Amino acid sequence: MAWIVLVLSVIAVVYEYPRLRRAKQFKELWLFMILLAVGVLLSVAEELHLPIPDPLNWLTAIYKPMSRIVLSALN
């Protein structure tokens, strides 16, 4: 299944890269490549049963210190 994701992503790059480059849409090209790479990496990691961090854990790590500061200021 990981090979299918890789093949489809290569097809997407072959199709989109020349169009975006010809149109000189370099910001869109960078965004396309970054988002495609993130998607492919997450798909392959999921297929290989690698642990993928949960976005909720990231939010908790960010907001927990903030909530402590706010709660200590309110007390």
Give the tens place of pLDDT for each residue, 8-31.
Answer: 999 999 999 999 999 999 999 999
Phi, psi of 68 (to 5 degrees): -65, -40
What distance in Å separates the CA atoms of residue 11 and residue 4, rounded to the nearest whole number? 11
Higher local confidence (pLDDT), 40 or 58: 40
For residue 31, the Cα-to-chain-centroid distance in whole angstroms is 11
- Structural contact between residues 26 and 68, judged by C-beta atoms closer than 8 angstroms: no
Binning the chain into helix, strand and coil, the percentages to the nearest 5 are 85, 0, 15
Band (pLDDT 50/70/90 cuts) for residue 75 is: confident
